[in-house]
């Protein structure tokens, strides 16, 4: 039985999330009532805890959940599910399981108010079912912001009624680069997709019921080629034709800061505000080359008329002008680091991606900051040895590296540190053409970002996280998540030394594991040489390494040949 004295639509829905799992996996549902009882039950009590905070006491005959708002009660449900056997996540009935929870007492509240995951749906398009699953997984990880990257050089994905071409035409690129962006090979296949306003409303509602706020991103002044291809009058007009980009990177065709452009962007935001209740909207701001503005008569005259120093100040003026409009509609802006160049707009928050310098600078100026630094929080980077992984952007950024990053820079004073309001993992989909690839890249690293969002630095502990990850993997298995298990594998590195030898180092991040290796081509066993120190590899030799824990191999055997 679930007892909720404060029974209303919201608490009823939260109880239904718990029952939905029981119904699918256990084959029964608990009765939901607002009447107190002396029977065994789960009691949800509003005890006035802070936003998102909850407490759980599990005793032999009852479970008491305390919360202060829906978000807190919802997170308590997520934790109750985690306390149950992992099969509770199964979509099929599981028999022969005792659905018990360990007796315990939990008090939990997040470290940061902003715990985000980004998803770029422009470099590759993903359908609504996948986005709902992404939000389900965010909710399971108690992540509360979905940063939806909706516009890019490679495609415009948001229906705007006033500018129908944006999706009729701007969703499409005629083909897509194969391999790295410089490969020179293309697939010859059009790629497109967009979200209708009805779909957006549906997703916003779906996310809200899971305590996830969707922050939409409309890029400006750069990364605007798909829009400019539809409406070339928004550009500086220096080129004969504009086409949606077919490869990744940074393009010089950017919005020209003229009245038509501002009218267009304001109209776009008017529709965005109708669709997204989020107070915060993302205005991009990253990677805006200045080549077109330098050549454009209008831009140069504007710089002179406004008494600006250069194109960087023009960019700042651009963002500040948009901020004024957005603020006038009751919304706030966040932008990537580059909005600091030429001066930060008065009320802007900064999403620090170029390392953490931008975040530090903004916090010192008393602007709020979300830490999303590349490469530490970039999930499009390899998470293991590139030689054994699918193509990615760079790195590697291992799970452990991501986990151990402290998003609050120590160079900031305690007062300045308060301006770091959160963390975000970035999922740019250059090399993630399918949902399966996104999931492989995003998990388990999303768990590392989520833990940074909830747990103070002093309490973060890699070994503890790695141990808990094993149960998390069991949950992932129940929902058929194709996550990356590479952190179990030894990481072999060959370092150049003399002309006829290389130095081998091997590491593994699994706590309590030892590495056994061979150099004669045989498979390593528990009796092979124990790796303790770097050693020398000579031509023709191959090093093979496996990690063992408690006498059993964990992960895969990895190998490298002298090359």
Binding site for ligand ACM (CB under 6 A): 286-287, 336, 353
Please identify, among the stretches 216-224, 235-243, 279-287, 409-417, the one whose residues bind Zn ion according to the rule CB under 5 A.
235-243
548 binds, among Zn ion, ligand ACM, none (CB under 5 to 8 A by kind): none
CB of 384 to Zn ion, least distance (A): 45
Looking up tokens 């406004």 gives: 306
Which is closer to Zn ion, CB of 59 or CB of 239?
Answer: 239
CB of 30 to ligand ACM, least distance (A): 45
CB of 353 to ligand ACM, least distance (A): 4
Q: Which of 411, 557, 562 is nearest to 497 (CA)?
A: 562
Which is closer to Zn ion, CB of 259 or CB of 532?
Answer: 259
CB of 283 to ligand ACM, least distance (A): 12
CA 340 to chain centre: 23
200 binds, among Zn ion, ligand ACM, none (CB under 5 to 8 A by kind): none
Q: Is the dihedral of CA 453, 459, 463, 467 positive or negative?
A: negative
318 binds, among ligand ACM, Zn ion, none (CB under 5 to 8 A by kind): none
Strands (E), 497-551: 502-507, 514-518, 529-530, 535-537, 542-549
CB of 400 to ligand ACM, least distance (A): 22
Q: State which of residues 63, 214, 236, 384 lies at the interface with Zn ion (CB under 5 A).
A: 236
Which is closer to Zn ion, CB of 119 or CB of 224?
Answer: 224
Q: How far apart are the first and last CA of the chain?
A: 64
Tokens for 306, please give them. 């406004």
Q: What is the contact mask toward Zn ion in residues 297 to 336, using x (rule: CB under 5 A)?
A: -xx-------------------------------------
Which is closer to ligand ACM, CB of 209 or CB of 286?
Answer: 286
287 binds, among ligand ACM, Zn ion, none (CB under 5 to 8 A by kind): ligand ACM
Residue 204 belongs to what H/E stretch?
Answer: helix 197-208
Which is closer to Zn ion, CB of 297 or CB of 415?
Answer: 297
Q: Is the dihedral of CA 436, 438, 441, 446 positive or negative?
A: negative
Which is closer to ligand ACM, CB of 79 or CB of 244?
Answer: 244
CB of 235 to Zn ion, least distance (A): 7
Contact between 132 and 200 under an 8 Å Cβ cutoff? The reply is no
Rounded to whole angstroms, the Cα distance separating 553 from 515 reads: 9
Tokens for 362, please give them. 């903004």
CA distances 455 to 111, 115, 403, Å, are: 6, 11, 11
- Asked if 119 is part of the footprint of Zn ion (rule: CB under 5 A), the reply reads no
Rounded to whole angstroms, the Cα distance separating 195 from 460 reads: 38
CB of 161 to Zn ion, least distance (A): 27
DSSP string of 113-130, one letter each residue? SEEEEEEE-SSS---HHH
Contact between 490 and 545 under an 8 Å Cβ cutoff? The reply is yes
Which is closer to ligand ACM, CB of 431 or CB of 483?
Answer: 431
296 binds, among Zn ion, ligand ACM, none (CB under 5 to 8 A by kind): Zn ion
286 binds, among ligand ACM, Zn ion, none (CB under 5 to 8 A by kind): ligand ACM
For the segment 255-274, give every residue that binds Zn ion (CB under 5 A): 256
Which is closer to ligand ACM, CB of 416 or CB of 430?
Answer: 430
CB of 207 to ligand ACM, least distance (A): 22
Which is closer to Zn ion, CB of 77 or CB of 230?
Answer: 230
Which is closer to ligand ACM, CB of 251 or CB of 336?
Answer: 336
CB of 414 to ligand ACM, least distance (A): 28
114 binds, among Zn ion, ligand ACM, none (CB under 5 to 8 A by kind): none
Which is closer to ligand ACM, CB of 277 or CB of 394?
Answer: 394
Any residues with CB less than 8 A from the CB of 399 and at least 6 apart, and which?
A: 383, 444, 445, 448, 484, 486, 487, 509
Prior bond of 7 cis (ω within 30°)? no
The site that binds Zn ion (CB under 5 A) totals a number of residues, namely 5
CB of 308 to Zn ion, least distance (A): 13
Rounded to whole angstroms, the Cα distance separating 105 from 109 reads: 14
Pairing relationship of beta strands 151-152 and 155-156 according to DSSP bridges: antiparallel
Which is closer to ligand ACM, CB of 26 or CB of 145?
Answer: 145
366 binds, among Zn ion, ligand ACM, none (CB under 5 to 8 A by kind): none
CA distances 468 to 444, 449, 463, Å, are: 12, 15, 9
CB of 298 to ligand ACM, least distance (A): 26
Q: Which of 256, 225, 216 is nearest to 243 (CA)?
A: 225
CA distances 347 to 220, 319, 335, 476, 563, Å, are: 17, 11, 11, 40, 54
Which is closer to ligand ACM, CB of 281 or CB of 486?
Answer: 281
Rounded to whole angstroms, the Cα distance separating 537 from 542 reads: 8
353 binds, among Zn ion, ligand ACM, none (CB under 5 to 8 A by kind): ligand ACM
Q: State which of residues 135, 143, 272, 296 lies at the interface with Zn ion (CB under 5 A).
A: 296
β-sheet bridge partners, residue 190: none
Rounded to whole angstroms, the Cα distance separating 448 from 146 reads: 16
Give the CB-nearest residue to ligand ACM: 286
CB of 340 to ligand ACM, least distance (A): 13
236 binds, among ligand ACM, Zn ion, none (CB under 5 to 8 A by kind): Zn ion
Tokens for 478, please give them. 């129940």
Q: Where does this chain bind Zn ion (CB under 5 A)?
A: 236, 256, 296, 298-299
């Amino acid at each position: 039985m679930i007892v909720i004295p404060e029974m209303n639509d919201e608490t009823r829905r939260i109880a239904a999330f718990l029952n939905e799992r029981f119904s699918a996996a256990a084959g029964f549902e608990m009765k939901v009532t607002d009447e107190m009882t002396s029977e065994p039950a789960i009691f949800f009590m509003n005890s006035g805890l802070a936003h998102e905070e909850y407490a759980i006491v599990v005793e032999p005959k009852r479970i008491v959940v305390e919360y202060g708002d829906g978000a807190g009660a919802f997170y308590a449900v997520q934790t109750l599910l985690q306390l149950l056997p992992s099969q509770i996540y199964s979509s099929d009935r599981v028999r022969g399981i005792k659905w018990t929870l360990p007796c315990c007492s939990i008090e939990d509240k997040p470290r940061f108010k902003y715990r985000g995951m980004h998803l770029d749906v422009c470099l590759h398009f993903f359908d609504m079912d996948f986005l709902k699953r992404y939000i389900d997984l965010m909710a399971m990880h108690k992540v509360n912001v979905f940063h939806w990257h909706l516009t890019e050089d490679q495609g415009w994905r948001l229906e705007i009624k006033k500018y129908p071409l944006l999706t009729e035409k701007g969703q499409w690129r005629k083909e897509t680069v194969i391999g790295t962006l410089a490969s020179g090979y293309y697939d010859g296949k059009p790629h497109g997709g967009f979200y209708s306003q009805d779909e957006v409303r549906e997703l916003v509602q779906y996310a809200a019921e899971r305590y996830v706020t969707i922050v939409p991103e409309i890029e400006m002044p750069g990364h605007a080629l798909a829009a400019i291809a539809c409406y070339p009058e928004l550009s500086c007009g220096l080129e004969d034709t504009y086409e949606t980009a077919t490869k990744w990177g940074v393009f010089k065709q950017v919005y020209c800061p003229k009245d038509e452009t501002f009218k267009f962007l304001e109209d776009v935001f008017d529709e965005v505000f109708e669709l997204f209740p989020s107070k915060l909207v993302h205005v991009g701001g990253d990677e805006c080359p200045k080549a077109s503005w330098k050549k454009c008569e209008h831009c140069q005259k504007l710089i002179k008329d406004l008494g600006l120093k250069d194109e960087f100040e023009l960019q700042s003026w651009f963002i500040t002008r948009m901020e004024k409009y957005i603020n006038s509609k009751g919304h706030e802006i966040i932008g990537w680091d580059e909005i600091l160049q030429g001066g930060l707009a008065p009320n802007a928050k900064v999403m620090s991606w170029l390392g953490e310098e931008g975040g530090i600078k903004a916090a010192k100026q008393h602007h709020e900051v979300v830490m999303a630094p590349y490469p530490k929080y970039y999930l499009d980077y390899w998470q293991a040895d590139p030689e054994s992984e699918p193509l990615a952007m760079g790195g590697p950024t291992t799970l452990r590296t991501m986990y151990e990053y402290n998003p609050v820079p120590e160079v900031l004073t305690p007062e300045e540190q308060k301006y770091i309001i959160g963390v975000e993992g970035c999922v740019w989909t250059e090399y993630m053409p399918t949902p399966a690839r996104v999931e492989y890249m995003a998990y388990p690293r999303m768990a590392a970002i989520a833990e940074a969002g909830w747990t103070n630095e002093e309490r973060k502990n890699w070994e503890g996280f790695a141990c808990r990850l094993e149960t998390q993997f069991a949950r992932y298995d129940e929902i058929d998540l194709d996550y990356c298990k590479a952190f179990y594998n030894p990481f072999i590195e060959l370092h150049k030394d003399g002309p006829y030898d290389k130095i081998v180092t091997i590491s593994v991040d699994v706590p309590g594991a030892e590495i056994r290796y061979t150099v004669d081509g045989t498979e390593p066993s528990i009796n092979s040489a124990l790796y303790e120190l770097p050693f020398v590899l000579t031509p023709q030799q191959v090093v093979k390494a496996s990690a063992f824990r408690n006498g059993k191999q964990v992960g895969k055997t990895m190998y490298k040949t002298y090359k």
